[in-house]
Structure 1
Amino acid sequence: MARARTRTRIRPRTALLSVLALLAGLLSLQLSGPASRATAAPTTFTHPGVLVSRGQLDYARAKVQAGQQPWKAAYDNMMASSYASLSRNPKPRAIVECGSSSNPNNGCTDERQDAIAAYTDALAWYFTRDSRYAKKAIEIMDAWSATITDHTNSNAPLQSGWSGSTWPRAAEIIKYTYDGGWANSGRFATMLRTVYLPEVISGAETKNGNWQLVMTEAAIGISVFIEDRTSYDKAVSTYLARVPAYVYVAADGDLPKPPANSSIDTEAEIVKYWQGQSTFTDGLSQETCRDFGHTGWGIASIADIAETSRIQGQDLYPKIQERLRQALGFHTSYENGATVPSWLCGGSVKKGLDEVTEVGFNALHNRLGIAMSNTQKYTEAHRPSGTDNYFNAWTTLTHADNPS
């Protein structure tokens, strides 16, 4: 692990810090502006192409059919879940109202879980070729697209991100692999365009980073499904600016990068935003000292977005892979039992990273050959991954050791 950078006192903004911030902003614009090739949407979108590709699905399906592990256990786990039940009845609402911590919870859980169920059924269809699962996925998606008009209350953007990142995964598989037809796919696309995309596309710079990252994941997935190149470009630019403000690496200097387009720019403000943490080391996240659960969501979205971009032919992994590698290794080391040093979060962390490492681990370790011993130990010990009931689901099945 890299040497921690310790801040012994909080200083007022200095001229040097302002100059450095300006230079960082110019560099960010250079890397993430619309003229950059890495931010350009593909001329032709690849379908299915949100988080999982046809090649990945075919690879995992062949492993399941051959009874190989961990795919067979992951598949059995998915098919035994309530999300794969053919008797499931969707619970759509016109207005989904979600306050802080989903209180009030007027349709919040129902929406998230119906989205996961639609994705589960879409995967079940692909793996079994049993049309009942495709029809159930369509039933769920049609019920919501015929009903929902808005999200309200303080958690509306976050709720839209959670559900909005899952719906396109299901829709992509059904629209582009099910030959039985989906009459209301256009209405579903309209729902994504008018109900979800406006909530997530503008970001949430001053919120904890997992908010903006999952909102951006939703914006990317929706843009692929509705083939909106402008929104795709905007979401990628947001992503390339947010990842450096969420995961610290020593090359950033004494302080983490501030969130783009926010007023959080002085040393005191940055430390406060990082949960009071004033010592920084490779892989530390803006939410590490909050808890590992929320941090895991942020890391998951970082990997998910990069995975979708790779499928779409505009691979973002090279731009974020060092931060993703460091974040995974840093947090899994403590999950694996490493002693928490006194300088980190007051000497105590709230663990619970959950099953969020498969996508990033597969991309960096299996495809790129990067050694990741802590992440490998953690990932293999937590297989097969299930679902967190928010937006992560069945990644051992779809991404474990998957070269496609």
Structure 2
Amino acid sequence: MKIIIIFGIFIHFFVYFSIADEEFVHPGLLHTNEDFERIKNKIELKEEPWLSAWKQFNTSRFARPNYSPRPQKIIYRGIGFPQNYITLCQDIAAAYCAAINWKITGNTSYADKSVEIMNAWSSTLTSIQGNNDIALAGGIYGCHFANVGEIMRSYKGWKAEDFNKFKGMMVNIFFNAGWGRILGNQPTSGSKRFYYSNWDLAQIGMAIAVGVLTDNREMFNEAIRVYKSDWYWGASSQFIYYLHPGYFGQTQEAGRDQGHNTLSIGLGGILCEMAWNQDVDLYGWDNNRFLAGAEYTAKVNYNFNGSGFADVPYITYANYYGDGVVQTMLGPGKGNNRPIWSLIYNHYENRMGISAPWSKKYAIAMRPEIGSGNINGGNGGSYDFLGFGTLLYQQDTISESCYPEGLTARVNGTKVDLNWWGPVYAINYSIQRSTTINGRFKTIKKKIGTQILTYTDSPGNGTFYYRVLTNGSTCAASNIAKAFIGTKLYFSLSFKNVSNGSLPIDLSENKFSIKLLNGASVGVGIKRKQTALSLNGNMQYAELENNLLSELSDYSIATWYSRI
């Protein structure tokens, strides 16, 4: 047996957290009762764009009151199998349209139709089979079906035993078809990184949806944990792979093709919205990282009214799928138009007041957003989203939004790269700098435009503090961001005077913490009077703080090790 003793650090980032064990909001997935009241009110007042979107909704072939379900005993998805999953997709679309119609009109015949479809499937379906694509079927369609059940759970005409049977189907068939294959009990030697982001995102959204539907807090919490971790392809930091200047977030699938790229963004928006309605903010997680990916993807694909495709930056991406793929440029299929943008635009601009110009352009260009099965001739991809975003997610325009936020200052050699999020109504920005956090801030740049929110400063060596203001100084300033130019010790893991059972400490001024996991311990070093990190087993590692390197763009790591 080989024992590896490391003097220094082995970095493997995870993040763990807990959510208070409290009751779920019902209905509380993609739609709440407050949402339905807003929609009903807008239609009654004949306000646009809701009225036109409502008329378009009722032209859907799945909004027919006489729709007949076609439940199957086994659903197949995957090449080489008798694929029949479109039947499931169509019945879910019809059940969803009926549920929406009931909540808006109050007509119980629509409620009965939705319940009829759900009962037919929960009484018939026994399994989902096929190749690895069954995980997508379980994830995407499981999330959709759970949303239907969540809307209808308050309908008195749905018998308790039938509702329980439906919930059992969602857990035993849909959840088990997806979660375990991608995120569950997989071997640890890289298999959790086998798929692209859309696979994991589908599972995360499904687990959130089924967790809320069945009041399973553990399932819900695990889905949130996975999204906030750094380990899975669907985790925020893997899904939004790289942040370019101005917070344009290059996505993991941008170099694959735009169909899968927009699929990932749409799935991300769905899971963020469902979590939001349970008071968990994934939209804002990691300084609005999801918005960075959405804006990048919208800019890549937007091409309406002869605008042409905009140029976007791209860095080489190495993917570990199969034997490994290195993607050096944007993937094909620009102009992939999915009904996903109204949800994203309305959250950031009209709820939060954060400018999302490319998502907004897309949402407006696609009004009214169509529903499931109504694009691309009704092929499989046309059922990836329930749709009707203009009707269901459009909010009143926010009345005011004034100050920038999310300012970061990242040192790159002798320069400081500043990036921030802008408010909706900003006209221009000013940058201010100080040498002390409570000192006098001096304006170093005025009238920065609103297209790309970034600025690079070259202040010389020292410690500097920055803030951003919009439209002169009439609004509050952004948060203050700190930058240090020069060379200093950022992190130093010391094992001196550390015995087994205690933890090494960070000698730098930052005082980062460390955890030893899976049996990692403090042992004897090369010199018998020294101590060191001892790794003697599978997946033993030292876990450092998740944001340890978040403010660094240029750094060196030194470590010493010995094999025994």
User: What TM-score results when the alignment is normalised by the length of structure 1?
Assistant: 0.79
Mapped contact 1:340–1:347 kept (Cα < 8 A): no
**2-structure distance, mates of 1:237, 1:224:** 15
Distance 1:84 1:240, change over 3 A: same
Q: What's the counterpart of residue 363 of structure 1?
A: 347
**2-structure distance, mates of 1:69, 1:93:** 40
Which amino acid is 1:249 matched to? Y
Q: What's the counterpart of residue 524 of structure 2?
A: none
**1-structure distance, mates of 2:300, 2:346:** 20
Calculate percent identity across the aligned residue pairs.
24
Which amino acid is 2:356 matched to? M
Distance 1:293 1:348, change over 3 A: closer
Q: What does 1:346-385 correspond to in 2, within 5 Å?
A: 346=329, 349-351=332-334, 352-385=336-369
Q: What's the counterpart of residue 65 of structure 2?
A: 86
Q: What does 1:282-297 correspond to in 2, within 5 Å?
A: 282-297=248-263
1:322 Cα offset (Å): 2.3
Unaligned runs of 5+ in 2: 1-7, 184-191, 230-234, 303-307, 316-327, 372-381, 399-564
User: Higher relative contact order by CA 8 Å / sep ≥ 6: 1 or 2?
Assistant: 1
**1-structure distance, mates of 2:254, 2:126:** 35
1:50 Cα offset (Å): 1.0
Which amino acid is 1:107 matched to? N
SS where residue 116 of structure 1 aligns?
helix
Distance 1:391 1:332, change over 3 A: closer
Distance 1:90 1:343, change over 3 A: same
Aligned length: 345
Q: What's the counterpart of residue 139 of structure 1?
A: 116
1:321 Cα offset (Å): 5.6
- Bigger mean CA deviation after superposition, 78-87 or 217-226: 78-87
Distance 1:74 1:224, change over 3 A: same
Q: What's the counterpart of residue 167 of structure 1?
A: 145
Residues 122-142 of structure 1 show CA distances to partners (whole Å, capped at 9, x for unaligned) of: 001111111111000001000
Mapped contact 1:295–1:353 kept (Cα < 8 A): no
Cα RMSD (Å) of the superposition? 2.4
- The answer to whether 1:401 aligns with 2:395 is yes
Which amino acid is 1:293 matched to? G
**2-structure distance, mates of 1:42, 1:398:** 29
Mapped contact 1:59–1:402 kept (Cα < 8 A): no
- The answer to whether 1:390 aligns with 2:355 is no
Mapped contact 2:134–2:178 kept (Cα < 8 A): no
Q: What's the counterpart of residue 441 of structure 2?
A: none
Residues 161-187 of structure 1 show CA distances to partners (whole Å, capped at 9, x for unaligned) of: 1210111111111112x2434341111
Q: What's the counterpart of residue 87 of structure 2?
A: 110
- The answer to whether 1:246 aligns with 2:246 is no
- Bigger mean CA deviation after superposition, 41-50 or 52-61: 41-50
Which of 127, 130, 153 matches 1:153? 130
Unaligned runs of 5+ in 1: 1-17, 253-280
Which amino acid is 1:160 matched to? G
Q: What's the counterpart of residue 49 of structure 1?
A: 28
Return the structure number with greater helix share. 1
Mapped contact 1:324–1:360 kept (Cα < 8 A): no
Q: What's the counterpart of residue 215 of structure 2?
A: 227
Residues 70-93 of structure 1 show CA distances to partners (whole Å, capped at 9, x for unaligned) of: 111222111111111122111111
Distance 1:143 1:396, change over 3 A: same
Q: What's the counterpart of residue 314 of structure 1?
A: 280
Mapped contact 1:165–1:217 kept (Cα < 8 A): yes
1:145 Cα offset (Å): 0.2
Mapped contact 2:205–2:271 kept (Cα < 8 A): yes
1:343 Cα offset (Å): 5.5
Which of 208, 220, 240 matches 2:196? 208
Residues 70-119 of structure 1 show CA distances to partners (whole Å, capped at 9, x for unaligned) of: 1112221111111111221111111111104xx64532101112112111
**2-structure distance, mates of 1:156, 1:348:** 25
1:390 Cα offset (Å): 2.5
Residues 335-386 of structure 1 show CA distances to partners (whole Å, capped at 9, x for unaligned) of: 2334446957546642204221122221111111111222211110101111
1:67 Cα offset (Å): 1.3
